């Protein structure tokens, strides 16, 4: 991404104040004099707040404004008077990162974010000296498990594609997914794509097999994050989420050997083993595609497996777990809790470094990456996403949604799909 630097920008935040009757509609609008809402460190940003009630500008009222460094180090609240539906406030950052404005009045809330030289964000801690040795040992243990797979045919409406429920032996839980391939494909003729899931407990997505018909044919594998059976009633997954897998991101967070994400990432490698063992695989093209926790897995796959040729990581989780060491916010799942004294738990801080996208990014050797970020994302804050994005030393692009929180907007989804297709087309060239 080429960053354009401009002088001060104006953010308009529109929301409605609550009335007794009727209940006003709350809306958020942010408009700047340049679309990317990016600033130089130390530059002031002017936020103009528009308040409305019942669809009309609020003639007289008050709002409370709080600036923070992307959710940490909140500044004291500022009370502003609204006149003729508007109020103005100015803020700035003196370091790379994001300035987040939260505006409230009663139950009405609006947010706006502005980035300050985010491409200058550096890692909050160095890569552990034994990072590579740790993961080499995990992969060596995985390699001792024979790659036995069971494919059960399932129905698909995608013409020319055959689909299967696939179970693949792995360390601990199996890889569990839906696999699609083009019928009658010649050996070494098809690229591959691995779809990975966001947070939660659910079946693999059979709908992803439609990718097997894209770009002249692909090998498409969609896996759930937990190695659980596919296609069960909703009650089955609800019971797991409320029982055995309740709060799974916190499992083993103080011990790198017990961390839940270790097993999840080893299943990624075994899924790649499966795809690259297919006689139809072209031997060079393998995309890992996912958002949120899926973006976390995409970064991990790129850092752990050189067979990955491209990643698409939407609003990625798992970024900058050690952000507290640089007075920054970290991303989901907040692997490092604070102890009784309010300090980061030392054991969790150390363990988290082996599962951090910032560190995986330094090991990635794929041909490219496409990443998306929301400027008012409070789940996977933009500060954390940029920390990981900046650590990628390879061709990369980032799509920014200035007005969005933790979601894959239609524009972000289009960006990721087009990036994947562009990579597929490039890999087909001699």
Domains of the chain: 10-120 (2.60.40.10), 131-428 (3.40.50.1820)
Burial 412-427 (b: 16+ CB within 10 A, else e): bbebbeebbeebbeeb
What is d(CA 235, CA 243) in angstroms, rounded to the nearest whole number?
12
Looking at the DSSP assignment, which residues form a beta bridge with residue 192?
A: 219, 286
Q: Are 419 and 312 in contact (CB under 8 A)?
A: yes
What percent of the chain lies above the pLDDT cut of 70?
92
**H or E segment and range at residue 131:** helix 131-143
Across 86-95, 179-188, 252-261, least confident range: 86-95
Indicate whether this model's pTM tops 0.85. Answer: yes
**What span, in angstroms and rounded, lies between the C-alpha atoms of 414 and 48?**
31
State the maximum Cα–Cα separation within the chain, in Å, rounded to a whole number.
Answer: 72
Is residue 323 a contact partner of residue 359, using CB atoms and an 8 Å limit?
A: no
Q: Is 425 helix (H, G, I), strand (E, B) or coil?
A: helix
Confidence at residue 105, expressed as pLDDT on a 0 to 100 scale:
85
381 neighbors 71 (Cβ within 8 angstroms): yes
What does the pLDDT read at residue 86? 86
What pLDDT digit, counting tens, does each position of 210-241 carry?
Answer: 999 998 899 999 999 999 999 999 999 999 99
Average pLDDT rounded to a whole number, residues 115-121? 97
| pLDDT higher than threshold 80 for residue 344 | yes
Q: For position 8, what pLDDT does the model report?
A: 36
3-state secondary structure of 50: strand
Q: How confident is the model at residue 34 (pLDDT cuts 50, 70, 90)?
A: very low
Top-confidence residue, 29 or 206: 206
**pLDDT value of position 35:** 63
């Amino acid at each position: 991404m080429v960053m354009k630097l401009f002088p001060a920008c104006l953010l308009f935040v529109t929301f409605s104040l609550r009335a007794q009757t009727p209940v006003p509609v709350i809306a958020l609008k942010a408009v700047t004099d340049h679309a990317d809402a990016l600033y130089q460190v130390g530059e002031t940003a002017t936020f103009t707040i528009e308040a409305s009630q019942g669809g009309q500008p609020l003639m007289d009222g008050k709002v409370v404004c709080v600036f923070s460094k992307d959710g940490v180090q909140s500044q004291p609240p500022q009370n502003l008077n609204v006149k003729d539906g508007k109020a103005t406030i100015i803020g700035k950052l003196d370091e790379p990162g994001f300035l987040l404005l939260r505006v409230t009045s009663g139950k009405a809330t609006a947010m706006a974010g502005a980035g300050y030289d985010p491409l200058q964000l550096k890692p909050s801690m160095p890569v552990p000296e034994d990072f590579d040795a740790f993961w080499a040992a995990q992969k060596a243990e995985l390699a001792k498990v024979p790659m036995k797979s069971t494919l059960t045919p399932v129905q698909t409406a995608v013409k020319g594609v055959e689909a299967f429920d696939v179970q693949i032996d792995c360390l601990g839980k199996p890889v569990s997914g839906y696999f699609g391939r083009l019928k009658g494909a010649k050996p070494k003729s098809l690229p591959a794509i691995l779809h990975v899931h966001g947070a939660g407990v659910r079946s693999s997505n059979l709908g992803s097999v439609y990718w097997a018909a894209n770009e002249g044919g692909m090998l498409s594998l969609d896996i759930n994050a937990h190695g659980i059976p596919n296609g069960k009633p909703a009650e089955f997954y609800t019971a797991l989420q409320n029982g055995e897998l309740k709060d799974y991101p916190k499992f083993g967070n103080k011990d790198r050997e017990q961390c839940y994400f270790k097993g999840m990432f080893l299943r990624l490698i075994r899924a790649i083993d499966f795809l690259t063992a297919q006689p139809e695989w072209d031997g060079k093209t393998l995309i890992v595609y996912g958002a949120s926790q899926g973006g976390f897995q995409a970064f991990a796959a790129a850092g752990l497996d050189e067979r990955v040729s491209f990643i698409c990581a939407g609003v990625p989780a798992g970024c900058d777990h050690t952000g507290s060491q640089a007075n920054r916010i970290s991303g989901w799942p907040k692997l490092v809790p604070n102890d009784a004294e309010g300090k980061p738990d030392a054991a969790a801080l150390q363990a988290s470094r082996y599962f951090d996208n910032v560190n995986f990014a330094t090991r990635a050797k794929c041909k490219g990456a496409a990443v998306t970020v929301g400027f008012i994302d409070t789940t996977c804050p933009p500060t954390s996403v940029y920390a990981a994005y900046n650590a990628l030393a390879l061709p990369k692009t980032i799509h920014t949604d200035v007005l969005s929180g933790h979601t894959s907007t239609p524009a972000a989804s289009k960006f990721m799909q087009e990036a994947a297709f562009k990579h597929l087309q490039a890999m087909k060239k001699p």
